[in-house]
Amino acid sequence: MSDTRIITGNEAAALAVKLVEPNVIAAYPITPQTSLAEKLSTFVEGGELRAEYVRVEGEHSALTVCISASTVGARVFTATSSNGLLYMHEQIHWAAGSRLPIVMCCVNRGVGAPWSIFNDQQDSFSQRDTGWIQIYCRDNQEIIDTIIQAYRIAEAVYIPVMVCYDGFVLSHTMMPVEIPDYGKVREFLPPYKPSVDISPENPVTVNPVFFPWRRENAEGVLCDGYMEKRYKLQDALLKSTDTIEEVSTAYGQAFGRDHGGLLWEHMTDDAEIVIVGMGSIAAEATVAADSLRKEGIRAGVVGIRVFRPFPRKAIATALKKAKVIVVFEKCMSYGCDGGVSSDIKSALYGTGIEAPMHNYIAGLGGRDVKARELADAVKETITRIDSGTEENETTWLNCHTG
């Protein structure tokens, strides 16, 4: 008999972590992540989760604790939001460079200044080039399922995974969620086997200073230089797409739910207008596409689930029949365009796909984005293309720019 509960996104995340059974948890409270950390501390204090919960003075220390514990072979978890994630920035690089399978939830929130406690995706977007896998969820069911998948992915490729979901829009909104069976989770997620055996009997030096060139160690073994280490991380990230797809498929077979590997699609088989987004805005776009269909406009949606590594081939395949591409995103590459839009353009370069693309920046700092507004923006784009006035510019939706 299935265990279905009506819970918030943060509670779904906490229950996923409880099922995974990490050895060490370290987190510092920050809105809208706080209730996730509180729930986990309650599980530990009440004896429901046998883990060491380390109380720290800030987010930098939280990730430092996870790095140390993961290095010696523990399964770990942390979570944060907004400026807390930025405070971790140095250690985010360190975790990826150390090839540690850390899983962290980023409950997306706008960053200061000016201060905002409300949602957009600028926090995790700003960490896109640090070497972490980034997966974006569109509802609370996907949150619980993705965290479980994230551990199997991270521990297979030895790359940390950031599970991102929209603050308040998901973190504090209640939805029906089916809780995975504990026994099945144990079968799906094998025990963590660290890549390096560290013990008093086997002392090793971890992450010493690397020279630019390759050199022999004390035993005469030729070792990588700094550049070889960077290459291996990039190569592993690019190849991790296969693992992500395999884990998604295996999870679907085990639990009956497949949220898509690298991306998901909604009514794209005959779509002429394809809307692209990440997270909850992509979920809202499915409602917009349905309403556009009622008006005779063949619209569909491509939801990007994995933003890093960027699913270049999958995106090109999903958009190959599109006549118009409209991208909505809750983040911005300042001084350029929306970052998602820029990555899509890069992925399509040289593929022969020449559909016009229009980029909308939407929902920054929690500004509401309704399905009808997405639909109206799509229709406006079509009108501009038909009239020859479309200039492939970025538009700020619901923003007074005059």
- Position 97 in a domain: yes
Domain range for residue 326?
Answer: 263-396
- Position 217 in a domain: no
Q: List the CATH number of the domain containing 375.
A: 3.40.50.920
Separation CA 360–CA 47 (nearest Å): 47
- Position 125 in a domain: yes
- 177 and 272 both lie in a single domain: no
- 293 and 144 both lie in a single domain: no
- 172 and 305 both lie in a single domain: no
- Position 219 in a domain: no
- 91 and 180 both lie in a single domain: yes
- Position 215 in a domain: no
- 35 and 177 both lie in a single domain: yes
Q: How many domains does the chain have?
A: 2
- 276 and 161 both lie in a single domain: no
- 39 and 122 both lie in a single domain: yes
* Domain closes at, from 130, 154, 188: 188
Question: pTM for the full model?
Answer: 0.97
- Position 225 in a domain: no
Helix (H), strand (E) at residue 78? strand 76-80
Per-residue pLDDT of the chain (402 residues; tens, 9 = 90+): 579 999 999 999 999 999 999 999 999 999 999 999 999 999 999 999 999 999 999 999 999 999 999 999 999 999 999 999 999 999 999 999 999 999 999 999 999 999 999 999 999 999 999 999 999 999 999 999 999 999 999 999 999 999 999 999 999 999 999 999 999 999 999 999 888 788 888 888 888 888 899 999 888 999 999 999 999 999 999 999 999 999 999 999 999 999 999 999 999 999 999 999 999 999 999 999 999 999 999 999 999 999 999 999 999 999 999 999 999 999 999 999 899 999 999 999 999 999 999 999 999 999 999 999 999 999 999 999 999 887 777 999 999 987
Separation CA 373–CA 283 (nearest Å): 14
- 157 and 74 both lie in a single domain: yes
Pair 344, 96: CB distance under 8 Å: no
* Domain closes at, from 165, 188, 211: 188
- 12 and 148 both lie in a single domain: yes
* Domain closes at, from 188, 221, 240: 188
- Position 247 in a domain: no
Task: Dump pLDDT digits (tens) for 160-214.
Answer: 999 999 999 999 999 999 999 999 999 999 999 888 788 888 888 888 888 899 9
Vertex 14: Cα angle to 12 and 15 (nearest 5): 65
- 19 and 159 both lie in a single domain: yes
- 33 and 172 both lie in a single domain: yes
Residue-level pLDDT at 1: 56
- Position 110 in a domain: yes
Q: List the CATH number of the domain containing 51.
A: 3.40.50.970
Q: Is 27 helix (H, G, I), strand (E, B) or coil?
A: coil
Residue type, 219: E
- 176 and 81 both lie in a single domain: yes
Q: Does the N-terminal peptide bond of residue 114 adopt cis geometry, omega within 30 degrees of 0? A: yes
